[in-house]
Amino acid sequence: MVDNNIKFGKLLTEPTLQRLSEYLIILDEFVENNKKTISSSELAEIYSNNANQVRQDLFKLQNTGRVGHGYDVMKLSQSIRKTLGLNTESPIMIIGCGKMGSALAEHLPFSKYGMELVGIFDVDPKILGTDIAEVKVRDIKDIPSVMIAEKSELAALCVPASSAQVMADRLVKYGVRGILNFTRKRLQVPSRVYVRHSQFICSFMQFVFMSKNVDEI
């Protein structure tokens, strides 16, 4: 079992962690549009929750609000980044460069959110050596050397479900500390390794159920 109540000055719970990361996306849109301030009720309106919850979440950060005037968008964005640890670049590896792995590598703004894509790995000789998102695709067996060179301990797993557990075992052996699992296989790893499951098909199931059953109040 894992302790989700991480001490970070104040405690950050999982629901708050998730919302903070999503607020950040909204705030960065405000930044792009040159909006300087945002109130808890504005943010709540966009996020579809309520101002009380927003303030309760932001209360976990170093204070950035100005009573009577709302939040400075830039300062709030920075404060979330700092609290989530996105101000130092975390080196990330992507394991498996099929459609899913390469889509993630190409589309995600890692560097904007405190991550750096330091390696993409595959076994298919046909794609080894090609460039994706300005990173060369390397052989799986090069993972240990990249881990050392880049001080990387985090891996996103995008291999076929059939080889997911084998690959996870290998990553564990290499000393990886976290695995973000995009495969459909439920991974078994030692408790010292953090696994986050991101199974799209489950998102679809939940989406279908909610779409059918949601009603307005």
Partner DNA sequence: TAGATTGTTAATCGATTAACAATC
Stretch that binds a copy of itself, among 3-11, 61-69, 121-129, 142-150 (CB under 8 A): 3-11
Strands (E), 53-114: 65-66, 70-72, 90-95
The answer to whether 130 touches 137, Cβ cutoff 8 Å, is yes
Q: Which of 12, 7, 8 lies closest to 56 in space, CA to CA?
A: 12
- When CB distances are held under 5 to 8 angstroms depending on the partner's kind, the choice from DNA, a copy of itself, none that residue 40 binds is DNA
Does 39 interact with DNA (rule: CB under 7 A)? Answer: yes
Site for DNA in 60-99 (CB under 7 A): 63-71
Binder among 9, 13, 129, 207 for DNA (CB under 7 A)? 13
What's the rounded Cα separation, in Å, for the pair 148 and 112?
Answer: 24
Q: Which of 119, 113, 78, 112 lies closest to 96 in space, CA to CA?
A: 119
Compute the least distance from the CB of residue 68 to a copy of itself, in Å. Answer: 26
- When CB distances are held under 5 to 8 angstroms depending on the partner's kind, the choice from a copy of itself, DNA, none that residue 3 binds is a copy of itself
Q: Residue 7: CB partners within 8 Å, gap ≥ 6?
A: none
Q: Which is nearer to DNA, 50 or 130 (CB)?
A: 50
Stretch that binds DNA, among 35-43, 122-130, 168-176, 182-190 (CB under 7 A): 35-43
